[in-house]
């Protein structure tokens, strides 16, 4: 599903290939016969209409009909819900044309033409808009239909179905009213199935329906087929703007100004006996991509029956036995459609008395593995070229292929649901505390369960196999860290009530205590009891093939954000060409180091701080050596310490409660020590830490911290070169620069240190100094900053926060969801780059930077580096690379290739 919702890619390509609509017939302004249109006219005819037109055009058996265009719908709204002048006249002409082709006449009791009236917008909005079947029936034509087909039961069943749909959709009578009458009729006859009702029963039922309509809708059920038709057209137009349709479009980011087309088509009936039937099929298997028609059908049935699930449909292969000739014809049609559309098609068909009719064709939705296989196979089949294949796969879908998935066959009990924050599945025992998670993880797999996480919990996150939180959004701390580590995470599961003191959580009716097994699925957000078997991911040959093509096609580099050697290794395996962001703060959070870090923070003089920093230097050097070893020959950007120091200390709120308790209990022994800690925490407390003492500001106030880090980085590079003949290019990143003077002060100091370390060792290593562009001011004065910075890395998380004035941690839970629901924002700007605002300043920053230093290396390391739309933007503004979490590296590789291909196509189109 996700694939089609987000398939801007595919749409965009189609648009670029689309030509102007063909001329319509003389005097036909608002309508078009199927035979007059083609597949490229989706804007005007909607998806369904364009499909019917195309199939008609290439000679496939489509029941005759015509489409009222989306322009008519838009005009209807422009005229304050008046039908466009001339529309009804055109409709009459079109119906006449259909009559000519079918030999039937609309409203003629002797041989009545019945039609379906269906909505059909440019993008599929399944179940959102309305359909009326069997239109044209009334008390006279129903008798004609009975005589003509020799099947009164069929005729009256069709009539009561029509009345029910029309009553509901057009007249606004509640569906239940009809169902109640139907149930009463069956009760009266002592039967349970609709099919057990006789023609007479059904005729009586239509009388009952007529009464219901008069009572509920305060009007008679219309007898005039033309009036029925006009009312149905209006109803379809109206259905474009129902609240549910608007909500659906907001959610799926479909524009509101497209309007819907209306398709009016001769009815065909799959329920006319054993040589009739109906079904749906895909030209290839949409789950696996196997090259074989895949679908199901029912004989003697209508489309509704397949959907309703009353009878179990049969696999399409069986049609070969039931109606061999029709099957052969259908298989040929499928092959033809696939060749014609050069893509997998999702086809609806009906067989009326042995004659095959096609009712719909559209691009088939498919799973991610199927998409990859189909794309690669079609290149081998010479149906499409490599560039087209690359455009066929939704980049974001690749991520799910790289994580373990739950065995779909395994039974499960889902007890709750949260946001699918980091894909993959994990089972483990529930632990509510980070420290305990570390202990228990030594022997068992662990799921860390917290209301929310913060940097204090990092060691617990490292130890756990997955994380579940009851608060926070897609970019909460838990979500970001888990994605960075490639660990499954379900966050913001509001139905999960966690009681930390009792060490248990309640979800639905289940209560889960610490130590009990659960499974979380970070791809769906589901929380399940017990351990559920998983399927390990495989990077199939097709994926690897596709990504190789992507690497050939793209010009944008792809690096990874990785803080640990294991992440770096993963990144490299997934094709990263370097590390775009190594955050050093996590290194300080690890259990054995945190106390030393805290000592450093509590120090009251530079000398004391330096003393505490000395052992950290050893740790850091080994950390960097580990990462450098994995990234041999590649660049590694290391960001100097960035977060505010209070993140390394306990939370003020907890300390306040603790100190108050100690004080009231008279526990003076601990009190003094905890009070001292509280005082320091209060000193460091900030109203808005995101805008506080962090980044290069720390380095300006406490230069000794940066100094230690730069020593560790260069010593690591030197030792590897000298002892293991491994070369890397460390790029030292000074964060949060907003004024060139900040960079100057820090850079001058650190340059001296770097030169000194190299001089002392006598081993020349290459290195660069650069900065993170994450403050609006930095974009505005990027030309000045580039005088010193050898590289820029856009920190788009913080840029988004400052340019919008949104605190990420607060916005998600407090108001951003409302913005998305109301359509104030089309996308979460923390997931997809805000091109109008953030992007504008990035473009300015990149341009100004290169104006001073043409060889400036410019990349992006925010969360957006793995978002396909954002990657495309980065390509467009000429960045050198994007950097994202290791598991999104393949996503970025493909997205970068698509960006380049689309650009070429656009250029080709302009030429």
Catalytic residue numbers? 477, 861
End-to-end CA distance of the chain: 36
Label residue 566 exposed, middle or buried (CB < 10 Å: 0-12, 13-18, 19+).
middle
Residue 333 · residue 357 · CB < 8 Å: no
Across-strand partners of 769?
A: 732
Q: Which tokens go with 826? A: 């089309």
Per-residue binding letters, 511-550, with a second copy (x by CB under 8 A): ----------------------------------------
Q: Which is nearer to a second copy, 408 or 836 (CB)?
A: 836
Task: Give residue 744's Cα distance to chain centre.
Answer: 42
Residue closer to a second copy by CB (options 510, 691) is 691
Alpha-carbon span 12 to 18, nearest angstrom: 10
* CA contacts within 13 A on the Cβ side of 846: 22
Q: Is 660 in the site for a second copy (CB under 8 A)?
A: yes
Exactly one of 524, 689, 703, 797 binds a second copy (CB under 8 A); that residue is 689
Q: What's the min distance (Å) between Cβ of 787 and a second copy?
A: 14
Q: Residue 746: which residues within 8 A CB-CB, separation 6 or more?
A: 696, 699, 700, 703, 706, 734
CA distance 872 to 698: 34
Can you tell me the distance from the alpha carbon of 331 to that of 317, in angstroms, rounded to the nearest whole number? 10
- Phi first, then psi, for residue 734 (nearest 5°) are -95, 115
- Is 671 a binding residue for a second copy by CB under 8 A? The answer is no
Which residues, 6 or more positions from 882, have their beta carbon under 8 angstroms from its beta carbon? 556, 557, 558, 559, 580, 859, 860, 864, 865, 866, 870, 871, 874, 892, 896
Could you please report the per-residue DSSP string of 802-820?
A: HHHT--HHHHIIIIIHHHH
User: Residue 650 Cβ, how far from a second copy at the closest point, in Å?
Assistant: 14
Q: Which of 88, 217, 320, 693 binds a second copy (CB under 8 A)?
A: 693
Stretch that binds a second copy, among 19-27, 84-92, 105-113, 689-697 (CB under 8 A): 689-697
Q: Which of 220, 307, 442, 664 binds a second copy (CB under 8 A)?
A: 664
Closest CA to 46 of 241, 230, 237: 237
Total residues contacting a second copy by CB under 8 A comes to 56
CB atoms within 10 A of CB 634: 18
Min dist CB 253 to a second copy, Å, is 14
Can residue 729 be called a binding residue for a second copy (CB under 8 A)?
A: no
Closest distance to a second copy from the beta carbon of 823 (Å): 7
Nearest to 252 by CA among 2, 526, 421: 2
Determine which residue in the list 626, 840, 847, 905 makes contact with a second copy, applying CB under 8 A. Answer: 840
At closest approach, how far in Å is the CB of 841 from a second copy?
Answer: 7
Is the Cβ of residue 26 or residue 822 nearer to a second copy in the bound state?
822
The one among 8, 253, 503, 739 contacting a second copy by CB under 8 A: 739
Using CB under 8 A, pick the residue from 819, 831, 876, 903 that binds a second copy. 819
Contact flag: residue 742 with a second copy (CB under 8 A): yes
Question: DSSP assignment of 162-200, as one string?
Answer: HHHHHHHHTT---HHHHHHHHHHHHHHHT-SSGGGS-HH
Residue spans of beta strands (DSSP E) within 526-642: 526-529, 534-535, 557-561, 579-583, 635-639
Residue with tokens 């009586």: 204
Do 396 and 868 touch, CB atoms closer than 8 A?
yes
Question: In this chain, which stretch among 339-347, 438-446, 499-507, 817-825 interacts with a second copy, using CB under 8 A?
Answer: 817-825
Task: Between 149 and 807, name the residue whose CB sits nearer to a second copy.
Answer: 807
Q: In Å, what is the CA distance from 408 to each residue of 254, 404, 414, 419?
A: 31, 12, 13, 20
Query: Judged by CB, which is closer to a second copy: 614, or 815?
Result: 815
Name the minimum Å distance from CB 742 to a second copy: 6
Write the interaction track for a second copy spanning residues 635-654; mark x where CB under 8 A is met and - where it is not: -----------------xx-
Least distance CB 335 / a second copy (angstroms): 48
SS (HEC) of 384-403: CCHHHHHHHCCCCHHHHCCC
From CA 49, how far away is CA 53, in angstroms rounded?
6
Q: Which is nearer to a second copy, 727 or 827 (CB)?
A: 827
- Choose, by CB under 8 A, the member of 86, 626, 650, 692 that binds a second copy: 692
Give 125 or 778: the residue with its C-beta nearer to a second copy: 778
Between residues 322 and 452, which has the closer beta carbon with respect to a second copy? 452
Which residues neighbour 502 within 8 Å (Cβ) at sequence distance 6 or greater?
Answer: none
User: Among residues 251 and 815, whose Cβ is nearest to a second copy?
Assistant: 815
282-341 positions binding a second copy, by CB under 8 A: none
Cβ 717 to a second copy shortest distance, Å = 30
Q: Give min distance, CB of 664 to a second copy, in A.
A: 5
Q: Which is nearer to a second copy, 529 or 736 (CB)?
A: 736
Q: How far is the CB of 540 from a second copy (least distance, A)?
A: 42
Name the segment binding a second copy (CB under 8 A); options: 232-240, 690-698, 845-853, 872-880.
690-698
- The residue among 345 and 812 lying less far from a second copy, judged by its C-beta, is 812
Beta carbons of 658 and 675 less than 8 angstroms apart = no
Examine residue 700 and tell whether it contacts a second copy (CB under 8 A).
yes
H or E segment and range at residue 732:
strand 729-734
Residue among 259, 21, 31, 232 at smallest CA distance from 125: 259
Residue 774 engages a second copy in binding (rule: CB under 8 A): yes
- Give one DSSP letter per residue of 26-57, joined into a string: TT-SSEEEGGG--TT-HHHHHHHHHHHHHHHH
Among 824, 851, 878, 906, binds a second copy (CB under 8 A): 824
95 binds a second copy (CB under 8 A): no
Region near a second copy per CB under 8 A, out of 293-301, 372-380, 381-389, 732-740: 732-740
The least distance separating a second copy from the CB of residue 665, rounded to whole angstroms, comes to 7
Give the interface segment with a second copy, choosing from 18-26, 168-176, 248-256, 660-668 (CB under 8 A).
Answer: 660-668
CB of 408 to a second copy, least distance (A): 39
CA angle 483, 562, 808 (to 5 degrees): 50
Is the CB of 191 or the CB of 745 nearer to a second copy? Answer: 745
Which residue among 686, 723, 748, 760 contacts a second copy (CB under 8 A)? Answer: 686
String marking each residue 775-814 x if it binds a second copy according to CB under 8 A: xxx--xx----------------x--xxxxxxx-xxx--x
C-alpha angle 335/341/344, rounded to 5°? 65
With beta carbons less than 8 A apart as the criterion, state whether 478 and 452 touch. Answer: yes
Among 657, 676, 755, 906, binds a second copy (CB under 8 A): 657
Single residue of 295, 484, 738, 866 touching a second copy by CB under 8 A: 738
Cβ proximity to a second copy: between 126 and 836 the closer is 836
Q: Tell me which residue has tokens 């139907």.
A: 182
Contact between 626 and a second copy by CB under 8 A: the answer reads no
- Rounded to a whole number of angstroms, the minimum distance from the CB of residue 590 to a second copy is 24
Please state, in angstroms and rounded to a whole number, the distance separating the CA atoms of residues 362 and 481: 40
CB under 8 A: which stretch of 254-262, 333-341, 597-605, 819-827 binds a second copy?
Answer: 819-827
Where do contacts with a second copy occur on this chain (CB under 8 A)? 652-653, 656-657, 660-661, 664-665, 686-693, 697, 700-701, 736, 738-739, 741-742, 745, 774-777, 780-781, 798, 801-807, 809-811, 814-815, 818-819, 822-825, 834, 836-838, 840-841
């Amino acid at each position: 599903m996700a694939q089609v919702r987000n398939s801007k890619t595919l749409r965009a390509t189609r648009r670029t290939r689309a030509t102007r609509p063909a001329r319509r017939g003389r005097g036909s302004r608002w309508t078009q016969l199927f035979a007059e249109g083609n597949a490229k006219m989706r804007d005007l005819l909607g998806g369904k209409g364009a499909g019917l037109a195309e199939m008609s055009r290439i000679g496939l058996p489509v029941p005759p009909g015509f489409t009222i265009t989306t322009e008519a719908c838009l005009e209807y709204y422009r005229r304050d819900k008046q039908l466009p002048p001339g529309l009804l006249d055109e409709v009459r002409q079109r119906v006449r044309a259909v009559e000519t082709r079918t030999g039937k006449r609309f409203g003629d009791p002797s041989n009545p033409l019945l039609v379906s009236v269906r909505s059909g917008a440019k993008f599929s909005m399944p179940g959102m808009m309305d359909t009326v079947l069997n239109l044209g029936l009334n008390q006279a034509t129903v008798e004609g239909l009975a005589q003509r087909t020799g099947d009164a039961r069929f005729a009256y069943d069709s009539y009561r179905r029509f009345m029910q749909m029309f009553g509901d959709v057009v007249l606004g009578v509640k569906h239940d009213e009809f169902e109640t009458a139907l149930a009463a009729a069956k009760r009266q006859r002592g039967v349970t199935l609709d099919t057990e009702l006789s023609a007479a029963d059904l005729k009586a039922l239509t009388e009952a329906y007529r009464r219901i309509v008069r009572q509920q809708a305060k009007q008679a059920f219309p007898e005039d087929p033309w009036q029925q038709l006009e009312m149905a057209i209006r109803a379809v137009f109206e259905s474009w703007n129902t609240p549910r349709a608007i909500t659906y479009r907001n959610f799926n980011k479909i524009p509101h100004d497209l309007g819907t087309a209306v398709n009016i088509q001769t009815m065909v009936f799959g329920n006319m006996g054993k040589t009739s039937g109906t079904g749906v099929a895909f030209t290839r298997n949409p789950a696996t991509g196997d090259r074989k028609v895949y679908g199901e059908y029912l004989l003697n049935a209508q489309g509704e029956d397949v959907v309703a699930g009353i009878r179990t449909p049969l696999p399409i292969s069986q049609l070969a036995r039931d109606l061999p000739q029709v099957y052969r014809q259908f298989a040929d049609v499928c092959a033809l459609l696939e060749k014609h559309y050069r893509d997998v098609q999702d086809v609806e068909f009906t067989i009326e008395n042995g004659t095959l009719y096609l009712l719909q064709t559209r691009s088939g939705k498919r799973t991610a593995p199927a998409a990859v296989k189909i794309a690669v196979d079609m290149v081998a089949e010479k149906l499409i070229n490599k560039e087209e294949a690359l455009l066929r796969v939704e980049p974001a879908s690749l991520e799910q292929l790289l994580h373990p998935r739950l065995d779909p066959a395994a039974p499960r009990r889902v007890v709750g649901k949260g946001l699918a924050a980091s894909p993959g599945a994990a089972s483990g025992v529930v632990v509510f505390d980070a420290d305990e998670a570390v202990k228990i993880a030594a022997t068992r797999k662990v799921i860390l369960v917290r209301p929310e996480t913060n940097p204090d919990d990092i060691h617990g996150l490292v130890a756990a196999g997955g994380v579940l939180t009851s608060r926070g959004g897609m970019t909460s701390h838990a979500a970001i860290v888990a994605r960075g580590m490639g660990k499954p995470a379900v966050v913001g599961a509001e139905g999960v009530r966690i009681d930390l003191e009792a060490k248990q959580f309640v979800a639905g009716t289940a209560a889960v205590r610490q130590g009990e097994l659960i499974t979380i699925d970070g791809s769906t957000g589901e929380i399940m009891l017990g351990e559920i078997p998983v399927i390990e991911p495989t990077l199939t040959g097709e994926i690897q093939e596709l990504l190789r093509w992507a690497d050939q096609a793209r010009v944008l580099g792809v690096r990874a954000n990785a803080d640990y050697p294991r992440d770096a290794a993963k990144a490299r395996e997934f094709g990263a060409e370097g590390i775009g962001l190594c955050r050093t703060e996590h290194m300080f959070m690890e259990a054995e180091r945190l106390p030393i870090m805290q000592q450093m923070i509590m120090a009251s003089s530079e000398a004391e701080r330096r003393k505490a920093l000395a052992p950290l230097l050893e740790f850091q050097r080994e950390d960097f050596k580990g990462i450098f070893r994995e990234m041999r020959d590649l660049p590694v950007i290391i960001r100097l310490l960035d977060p505010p120091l209070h993140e390394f200390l306990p939370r003020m709120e907890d300390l306040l409660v603790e100190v108050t308790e100690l004080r009231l209990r008279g526990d003076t022994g601990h009190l003094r020590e905890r009070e001292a800690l509280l005082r320091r925490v209060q000193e460091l407390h900030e109203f808005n830490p995101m805008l506080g003492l962090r980044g290069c500001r720390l380095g300006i106030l406490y230069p000794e911290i940066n100094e230690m880090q730069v020593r560790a980085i260069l010593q690591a590079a030197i030792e590897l070169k000298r002892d293991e003949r491994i070369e890397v290019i460390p790029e030292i990143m000074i964060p949060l620069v907003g004024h060139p003077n900040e960079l100057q002060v820090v850079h001058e100091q650190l340059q001296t240190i770097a030169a000194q370390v190299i001089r002392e060792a006598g081993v020349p290593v290459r290195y660069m100094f650069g900065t993170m562009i994450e403050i609006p001011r930095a974009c505005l004065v990027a030309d000045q900053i580039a005088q010193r910075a050898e590289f820029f890395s856009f920190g788009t998380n913080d840029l988004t926060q400052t340019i919008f004035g949104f605190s990420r941690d607060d916005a998600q839970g407090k108001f951003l969801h409302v913005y998305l629901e109301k359509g104030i924002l089309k996308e979460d700007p923390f997931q997809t780059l805000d091109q109008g605002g953030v992007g504008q300043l990035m473009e300015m920053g990149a341009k100004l930077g290169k104006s001073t230093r043409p060889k400036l290396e410019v990349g992006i390391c925010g969360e957006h580096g793995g978002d396909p739309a954002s990657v495309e933007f980065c390509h467009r503004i000429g960045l050198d690379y994007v950097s994202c979490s290791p598991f999104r590296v393949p996503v970025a590789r493909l997205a970068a290739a698509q960006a380049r291909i689309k650009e070429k196509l656009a250029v080709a189109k302009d030429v």
